[in-house]
């Protein structure tokens, strides 16, 4: 797999951050790694990026049940993930709660709440939101990166399964 093919295939694994695939591809040359190896290499790339670059990656993620979803501006992966979690089926009260929690979270931390929602439901997500609002900045920054890596692994697994 050449560079352009690799970036076309894997550039969206990390939300709006093709730089991850761009930095990993030279490590692989033309070989196509197994999913586990690729997930590890991509995570290492993010973990070794500057804190500023990591923050930009975190901020590249959409709010859950946010304006991008309403406007139909989510990536295909984010749309599918939020749909699987039932976020597109929110009651008016749940939607209002998501909006209030998104606002409170961004006000406190300066970045959106990140959770790998593919294997969650609305109730679990809202509970996690409320629990994590009690954390400090450093804990949430690290948690956001861990959740982003989980999202990436789930996306890579979904690609592998076809």
Q: What is the pLDDT of residues 8-35, one digit of tens each?
A: 999 999 999 999 999 999 999 878 789 9
Total domains in the chain come to 2
pLDDT at residue 70, rounded to an integer: 56
Task: Give the global pTM.
Answer: 0.91
Reported as a single tens digit per residue, the pLDDT across 89-143 is 888 899 899 999 999 999 999 999 999 998 899 999 999 999 999 999 999 999 9
More confident residue, 72 or 8: 8
Domain limits for position 104: 61-161
More confident residue, 83 or 7: 7
pLDDT at residue 68, rounded to an integer: 47
Q: How far apart are CA 17 and CA 56, in angstroms?
A: 9
* 152, 76: one domain: yes
Query: Of the residues 40, 55, 70, which one is the last residue of a structural domain?
Result: 55
30 and 4 in contact (C-beta within 8 Å)? no
Q: Which residues are catalytic?
A: 61
């Amino acid at each position: 797999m050449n560079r352009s093919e690799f970036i076309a295939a894997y550039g969206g694994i990390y939300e709006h951050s093709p730089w991850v695939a761009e930095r990993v591809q030279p490590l692989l040359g033309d070989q196509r790694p197994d999913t586990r190896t690729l997930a590890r290499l991509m995570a290492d790339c993010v973990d070794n990026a500057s804190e500023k670059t990591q923050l930009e990656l975190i901020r590249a993620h959409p709010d859950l049940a946010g304006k991008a979803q309403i406007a139909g501006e989510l990536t295909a992966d984010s749309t599918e993930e939020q749909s699987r979690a039932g976020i597109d089926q929110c009651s008016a009260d749940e939607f209002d709660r998501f909006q209030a929690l998104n606002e409170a979270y961004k006000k406190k931390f300066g970045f959106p709440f990140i959770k790998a929602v593919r294997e969650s439901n609305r109730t679990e997500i809202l509970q996690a939101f409320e629990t994590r609002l009690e954390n400090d900045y450093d804990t949430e920054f690290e948690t956001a990166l861990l959740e982003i890596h989980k999202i990436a692994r789930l996306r890579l697994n979904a690609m592998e399964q076809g």
